[in-house]
Amino acid sequence: MGIFNFFSKTNQPKEDLGKEPTKTHPSFWGKLSKIVSGKSTVDNDILDKLEELLISSDVGIATTLKIINAIEKRVARDKYLNANELDQILKSEVEKLLSTAPKLEDSAIPITSVRPHVILVVGVNGVGKTTTIGKLAAQFITEGKKVILGAADTFRAAAVEQLTIWGNRVGATVVARAMQSDPSSVAHEAVQQGINHGADVVIIDTAGRLHTKTHLVNELAKIKRTVQKCLPGAPQEVLLVLDGTTGQNAFVQAEAFIAAVQITGIAITKLDGTSKGGVVLGIANQFSIPIKYIGVGEKVEDLKPFDAQAFIASLFQKW
């Protein structure tokens, strides 16, 4: 298991998390232990190796340097720092970084009193955007809410088909038009149906093309304007979906979408299949946008609200 062994054990109680994992992907703690093995103090060699470990875990250069600089100041201040204390110091720095990240409300996406509550979902193709929408819809429907899905990614037949399958599976109405239709017209129809039929939530899928930022900005801006004509103040949520296995590409994608549209929350998917996953820490630190969900498997319940304390506990889980 990797960093996210905690999250991937969806049905396992916390008291069972100490069971021996598979050895395919060493844990972050295991790698850190090797760095300090045989060392009595924290020296430049340890700090260099720690820096390499953080970067290789997709924490990101900016966040890595922030952590390393903080530890260097601690070493300079204390003069003598036992290498065995490094994990606690590192954990403390991680906690500081996550403590400054925007906090979630009682629920990851609180539904406002305005009906329907419109969620615009953005992200590049292949990150699990449509699957995330399907899982969100399923969870809302389980809560007794009426959900409409808008298939506004009209450039990929597979996206419309996949969203339709999810809608049929979970009991959500899907609004779709012919391929190459204007995405904003689909979004408009979805919201209008939500108003007419008393839906609680409308979730709109969008195309994930990043070949030109200008095109991205224009298309998403047009969808927002169109939605707002139907329902002033909508969309109430703009959720960016990122693939946790893509490493630094996730940072590039986040920067592009944040520049294009006002993102209100982030979902990071596919965290069950990587030994890295430090991208969660980097994203939380570098962008002033809350991480609202993480995806750790194929099941509906594997889309989970992000829990910073659970993340930290998993990161420093000792086997």
Average pLDDT for 71-97: 81
**What number of other Cβ atoms are within 10 A of residue 142's Cβ?**
12
Q: The whole model's pTM is what?
A: 0.84
Say which residue, 67 or 10, is predicted with more confidence: 67
Is 314 inside a domain boundary? no
Note whether 92 and 240 are same-domain residues: no
Q: Taking 60 as the threshold, does the pLDDT of residue 319 lie above it?
A: no
Q: Which of 265, 269, 267, 275 lies closest to 243 in space, CA to CA? A: 269
Query: How much of the chain, in percent, has pLDDT values that exceed 90?
Result: 38
CATH classification at residue 19: 1.20.120.140
Note whether 230 and 93 are same-domain residues: no
**What range does the domain containing 219 cover?**
117-306
Note whether 142 and 47 are same-domain residues: no
- What is the DSSP code string of 31-84? HHHHHHTT-SB--HHHHHHHHHHHHHTT--HHHHHHHHHHHHHHHHHHS--BGG
pLDDT band at 13 (very low <50, low <70, confident <90, very high): very low
- What is the DSSP code string of 228-295? HHHSTT--SEEEEEEETTSTHHHHHHHHHHHHHS---EEEEE-TTS-S--THHHHHHHHSSS-EEEEE
Residue with tokens 């953080």: 54
CA dist., res. 220 & res. 122, Å (int): 9
Please write the tens of the pLDDT for every residue from 163-178: 999 999 999 999 999 8
pLDDT band at 16 (very low <50, low <70, confident <90, very high): very low
Note whether 189 and 298 are same-domain residues: yes
